[in-house]
Structure 1
Amino acid sequence: MMTKIKKIIDFAGILLENPSLINITLNENSVLQKKFKQKYGNFVALPQIEIKDLAHNDVSSVESFLMDGSSLITDLQLLATLAAREDVNSYFEIGTWRGESVYNVAKQIQDCTTMNLSKLEMKEMGWDSRYAEQHGILSTKNSEILHLEGNTKAFDFASLNKKYDLIFIDGDHSYDMVLNDTKKVFKHLLHENSIVVWHDYAYSPQKIRYEVFHAILDGTGKENHQYLYHVKNTLCGVFYRGDIDTTIFDDMEVPGKIYHNTIISEKFS
């Protein structure tokens, strides 16, 4: 008991010295899970689907830097698989980072658009200039990809005057920004067969990120919850209106498959 009391006193002292740490504490996934369950007590997780069940055509390989901030190979495989479908001919992406996602999608379709903060705005916000300069380092290699600059808080999505077949939401992963991006995408960019993918619905394929999950449910509206899924082996949630087989999420699932991967590297400049 005395050990626990000492830990509490020590922690209080740390917070007094570093008040900003309280935000980290309040944003702990367990705290956010409790808040989530207060509103969505009937949701344990989204039902799971598999990448292969979304495929119309096989996608042989994807490219990645395999560095900090990169999507999982399976996340990129999901996007490439969706882009290879006969009913997907246009793509819109929020949050580009190095451009790996859109670069792989653009191998399948020509009509690809991304939106990201400008490098100037990132630097003005105090972000590391090396981080800002790496944005689009891969995707700008493809001149056919349209790179838009803007803040989705203020951007008028209606001005695009277009509906997209596939949309990837991968910007700021705070509740407020996922909610903002989701609501605007659903209001302005969707047609009846659009597919939406959210990155970082999960921290890992078996650990849900409740802040993002909460925003997805609030942003899509109750009428669309029946079309939401977690794509197994990925960090992604997806909105998909088609019929598809599902399984129940299990955060301690015993492996039933093993996947074979071949990694080939080459110089990048």
Structure 2
Amino acid sequence: MKKIVKTIKGILALLKNPWLLNHVLNDDSIWRKYIAKNHKNQSELAVLNINSLNNGFDETLHSFAFLDGGSLPTDIALLKILSRRFEKCSYFEIGTWRGESVVNVSETAEECYTLNLPKEEILALGLSESYADLHGFFSKGKKNIRHLHGNSLHYDFEAINKKFDLIFIDGNHHYDYVKNDTKKVFEHLIHENSIVVWHDYAYSPEKIRPEVFAGILDGIPTKFKGNLYHVSNTMCAVFIRGKFDTTAFQSPIQPKHSFKVSIESQNC
């Protein structure tokens, strides 16, 4: 009887406040159950040690704001390290924001493309003009960075007519977008050695974000799922070919290594 009453109250609350449905649909427990049901053999990714990607981990970031909506330093350093695996790296990203990731990668890549919503669409979402103008703050005016504008749900990736070495998916993190972006990237932008990185696949290096993870699993071709990894000490998942020593995902983690950090402030 109590369950019936609770169900009726829940339905009435949704009818009165339909926006509450978003909280229900986006609830992590719902997505964990979805993954367990639809991806029984891949409810967690094997963990790839970040040190194994470049015979050690040593990178410098020259532009990092330490502000909301950004990445961990290790996330961006990961991109720089991966870009070094290619002689003349071509880089593509979905989701520019302030341009921290692409401006750092532009130091090690020959050419960079970054796709973001056009200003008018950002404003149409009810966001402020000052917020819209911050997009590309660090990356505007850089010679080897090309800024593209469009909604990735409808953007014609095929029309770019180009394959990329390193691709960073960091746009809208709702399931439909992550699935769409993943699917289109693998259909139109990768070659036989491409590496793909997803940001915010995890809330933190120790806590997976199941809605994003579900979008990745449903968007990537089945034949490539064996090349998916959780990169240690980051909020990133990666698709990379090759053989790597991995460990099972654990939380909390006993640290096996630490990082030396030197911070110097500079004017923008």
TM-score (norm 1): 0.91
* Contact preservation (8 Å) 2:86, 2:165: no
Q: C-alpha distance in 2, partners of 1:16/1:155?
A: 34
1:102-181 to 2 correspondences below 5 Å: 102-181=102-181
Measured in 1, the distance between the counterparts of 2:125 and 2:65 equals 26
Deviates further, 254-263 or 230-239? 254-263
Find the counterpart in structure 1 of residue 37 from structure 2.
38
| Secondary structure of the corresponding residue to residue 114 of structure 1 | strand
The 1-side partners of 2:8 and 2:107 are apart by 56
Q: Matched residues in 2 for 1:19 and 1:152: separation?
A: 26
Question: In the alignment, what sits opposite 2:182?
Answer: 182
Equivalences for 1:74-113 in 2 at 5 Å?
A: 74-87=74-87, 89-113=89-113
Question: Contact 2:186–2:221 at 8 Å: present in 1 too?
Answer: no
Aligned to 1:196: 196
Secondary structure at the counterpart of residue 41 of structure 2: coil
**Contact 2:59–2:80 (CA under 8 A) maintained in structure 1:** no
Distance change (3 Å), C-alpha of 1:8 and 1:65? farther
Partner of 2:59: 60
Other-structure match for 1:23: 22
SS of residue paired to 1:259: coil
Following TM superposition, by how much is the alpha carbon of 1:155 offset from its aligned partner in structure 2, in angstroms? 1.5
1:22 aligned partner, one-letter code: L
Q: Quick one: distance in 2 between partners of 1:56 and 1:142?
A: 30
Cα distance per residue 1:77-97 (max 9 Å; x no partner): 100111122355100011100
C-alpha displacement of 1:71: 0.5
What residue in structure 2 maps to residue 260 of structure 1? 260
Q: Percent identity?
A: 48
8 Å CA contact 2:182–2:216 kept in 1: the answer is yes
CA distance in 2, matches of 1:168, 1:127: 24
Contiguous gaps of at least 5 residues in structure 1: none
Shift of 1:141: 4.2
Q: Check the 8 A contact 1:59/1:84 in 2, yes or no.
A: no
Q: Which runs of 5+ in 2 are unaligned?
A: none
- Which deviates the most, 55-64 or 152-161? 55-64
SS at 1:42's partner residue?
helix
Cα distance change of structure 1 residues 123 and 28 upon mapping to structure 2, 3 Å threshold = same
Output the TM-score relative to the length of structure 2: 0.91
Which deviates the most, 37-46 or 48-57?
48-57
What per-residue deviation string (whole Å, max 9, x for no partner) do you get for residues 158-213 of structure 1?
11111100000011111111111111110111100000000111111111111111
**What do you get for the CA RMSD once the two structures are aligned?**
2.3
